[in-house]
Amino acid sequence: MATTIKTADEIKKMRIAGQLAADVLTMIAPFVVKGTTTNELNELCHNFIIDEQQAIPAPLNYHGFPKSICTSVNQVVCHGIPNDKQLKDGDIVNLDITVIKDGYHGDTSEMFIIGKSIAGERLAKIAQECLYLGIHMVKPGAQLGDIGEVIQKHAEKNICSVVRDYCGHGIGLGFHEDPQVLHYGKKGTGQKIEVGQCFTIEPMINLGRKTEACKVLNDKWTVETKKKVLSAQWEHTLLVTEMGVEILTIRPGEKIERYINHS
């Protein structure tokens, strides 16, 4: 499938879908505490998306995924399946939310720290910085490799590794559209970025040097670090604008602006 350029009408719908996905994270944040199970978080998000947003949780039944959100704890890189285990002090948790509204997808994820984790907080901060640095590279005429390079450099400078097995993606009527957005690479390589494109950046960053290897568990979904080191991820859905980029899934209180304009 070729990369699509969104029409003005599609952009309106992408803005709404992005806002709804962000709102789910804002809604669920106070519930992500010690003793809660990821199944409880799944159910709260599922009901909110269906009943309050009149939207669809995109993961549910997506290629057979059994739940409405992904919950990835500690060494889980992505695609963690909500379960009945209680969150405990020191856990780090990624909640990845994708909603469909009026046919269009909004996809975003955030890290939560349960109680205190020095290593987990440091890793989550580095992963968020990777996302924000990547977002700052987005403008018409830039190349996808420009995004990959800044993310890889920032991760490796901090003795972390970038997961290679999963990547960001075009998004719209499809959950995963072209292009693939790699979180490593070299500037001046890869597809040219164009006005009206929508894609995600969602770096998965593992603690330690040469720790990027992943394995999929027997449940066919859960992805873990091979070396069992901690992994962190943040994700935003983006729209390429004339001047730069609009973050469609931005939440209140984030340390980045919705519109980034390069003159």
Q: Is the peptide bond before 179 cis (omega within 30 degrees of 0)?
A: yes
Between 80 and 244, whose beta carbon lies closer to ligand MF3? 80
Q: Which stretch in 51-59, 100-108, 155-163, 252-260 sits in contact with Co ion by CB under 5 A?
A: 100-108
Q: Is 208 exposed, middle or buried (0-12, 13-18, 19+ CB in 10 A)?
A: middle
Q: Which does 65 bind (CB under 5 to 8 A by kind): Co ion, ligand MF3, none?
A: ligand MF3
Do residues 147 and 137 touch, judged by C-beta distance below 8 A?
Answer: yes
Which of Co ion, ligand MF3, none binds 146 (CB below 5-8 Å, type-dependent)?
none
Burial class (CB in 10 A: 0-12, 13-18, 19+), 80: buried
The least CB distance from residue 235 to Co ion, in Å, is 5
Return the amino acid letter for 133.
L
Q: Which residues bind ligand MF3 (CB under 6 A)?
A: 59, 62-63, 65, 70, 79, 96, 98, 107, 202, 235
CA distance 70 to 78: 7
What count of other Cβ atoms lies within 10 Å of the Cβ of residue 126? Answer: 19
**Which is nearer to ligand MF3, 110 or 212 (by Cβ)?**
110
Binding mask 105-134 for Co ion (x = CB under 5 A): --x---------------------------
CB of 132 to ligand MF3, least distance (A): 17
In angstroms, what is the minimal distance from the CB of 71 to ligand MF3? 10
Q: Looking at beta carbons only, is 63 or 210 nearer to ligand MF3?
A: 63
Which lies closer to ligand MF3 via its Cβ, residue 59 or residue 203? Answer: 59
Are the beta carbons of 177 and 4 closer than 8 angstroms?
Answer: yes
| Closest residue to ligand MF3 in the complex (CB) | 59
Q: What gap in Å lies between CA 189 and CA 146, rounded to an integer?
A: 7
87 binds, among ligand MF3, Co ion, none (CB under 5 to 8 A by kind): none
- Nearest CA-CA partner of 32 in 113, 127, 122, 119: 113
Place of tokens 């700052």: 136
* Cross-strand bridge partners of residue 180: 169
- Please identify, using beta-carbon distances, which residue of 89 and 165 lies nearer to Co ion: 165
**Judged by CB under 5 A, which stretch of 24-32, 88-96, 208-216, 254-262 contacts Co ion?**
88-96
Sign, CA dihedral 174-66-57-98, equals negative
Q: Which CB, 133 or 201, lies closer to ligand MF3? A: 201
Give the footprint of Co ion on this chain (CB under 5 A). 96, 107, 200, 235
